[in-house]
Amino acid sequence: MNYLICIGSNTEPASHLALARRELQRRFPDVWFSPEVVTAPIGMRHNQASFINQLARLSSDAQPKEIEQQLKEIEQLAGRTPEEKALEVVRLDLDLLMADEEVLRPKDLQRDFVQQLLKPY
């Protein structure tokens, strides 16, 4: 299956995105990454720090639930906790947007920056 993942961070984003890329490359050697883009926070009431986002595409025989589990493991490696999420601290957020042609997160897929990053590819 082919997967599309959105990667984002608003806390030490350069190091956390680098960690995500390393882990995704280790687990999925054929992974491709879009350029990074700086975005304003969406839906945050307290933390107005900008995000750095990028997309990743990869192929795997794993099922979507298995991919989501691996994404959660990578988030945890970055130190993401439910407590920080409640404080709007996002060390690393990895969202599975698509599995083959199935859209898993339609609202996220329609975000302007996601559409912008998808255009050249």
Indicate if the pLDDT at residue 46 is higher than 80: no
Q: What is the dihedral of CA 105, 80, 75, 82, to 10 degrees?
A: -40
Q: State the pLDDT confidence band at 82, using cuts at 50, 70 and 90.
A: confident
Q: What pairs with residue 39 in β-bridges?
A: 51
Instruction: Give CA separation, 49 vs 24, 32, 52, 72, 105, in Å.
Output: 25, 27, 10, 22, 23
CATH code of the domain in which 30 resides: 3.30.70.560
Average pLDDT over the chain, rounded to whole?
Answer: 92
Full domain range(s) for residue 22: 2-118
User: What is the pLDDT averaged over residues 40-67?
Assistant: 88
User: What integer pLDDT is reported at residue 121 of this predicted model?
Assistant: 59
Domain count, the chain: 1
Q: 40 pLDDT exceeds 90?
A: no
Find the angle CA(90)-CA(6)-CA(106) to the nearest 5 degrees.
110
Amino acid (one-letter) located at 56 = A
Mean pLDDT of 102-113: 95
